[in-house]
Amino acid sequence: MSSRAVAEHARQPIARVWLSLIALGGSEGRVTCAIPTEEVHLSDEEIGERGSYLTCSFTGQRCDAMVSGGLQRGESAMAAREQDRQQIAAVIEQYRRGFATMDVEGLTAIWDQDYDHILYIPQEAAQPVRGWAGVEQYYKRVSGLFERVRTMTVSDVSVDVFGDAAYAFCRFHFEGEVEGQSHIADGRVTFLLRRTSGTWKVIHYHESRPGDIAMNEEGESR
């Protein structure tokens, strides 16, 4: 390599290398090479073929820092996302337990009471409940109706996180008694949550009854 080429190489800005790896949870990790290099795009297969390093396009030198650094960041991001999902799953469990025991305090605790645009959409109501005071009053009214709760279960839980916002979905089955009469309800629920002071809180709740038409995952009727 000529001295001029080396000089040109030294002036190259440190490029960002984008790695698309399964180890990064399907997302792209941004790492910086210790050796100035061109931008490189590698697939999962290419990473597997080349091993855990990249080669500088100018000098041919190995650069272990690029991939190892990317993997470390990716593993850290994956761990953080998994922790978020677990915390949100705990919110769903608190919701389930709250209705199972008609614990108004437990139910209200999952909400971000400082959020200005809270919406609660119960399947039995013609209009949504708006604002924190309305949600609190709704829980108190419902808890006063039921003499006993026989069961409250949730299933088909899914969670996804987008920075400080997240959504969760689940199905529920509820059985209780109102004035000696059995009350059974099945529903589908979507939660919207935001992270506030490191804690996940609900800001939107939408409940709907299951439809009568069975469909597969492609949206086709069975």
- Residue-wise pLDDT for 63-101, tens only, equals 544 444 555 566 777 888 899 999 999 999 999 999 999
Q: What confidence tier does 39 reach under pLDDT thresholds 50, 70, 90? A: very low
- Of 203, 192, 190, 196, nearest in space to 166 by CA: 192
Angle at 130 between CA 124 and CA 131, to 5 degrees: 135
Token readout for 144 is 């006063």
Q: Where in the chain is the domain with CATH 3.10.450.50?
A: 82-208
Domain 82-208, classified CATH 3.10.50.40, yes or no = no
Q: How far is CA 79 from CA 133, 135, 169, in A?
A: 36, 33, 21
The pTM of this model reads: 0.65
pLDDT of residue 49: 42
- 3-state secondary structure at position 141: helix
What is the rounded CA–CA span in Å between residue 85 and residue 158? 9
State pLDDT tens for residues 149-190: 999 999 999 999 999 999 999 999 999 999 999 999 999 999
Mark out the alpha helices in the chain (DSSP H runs).
Answer: 3-11, 44-50, 64-101, 104-108, 132-145
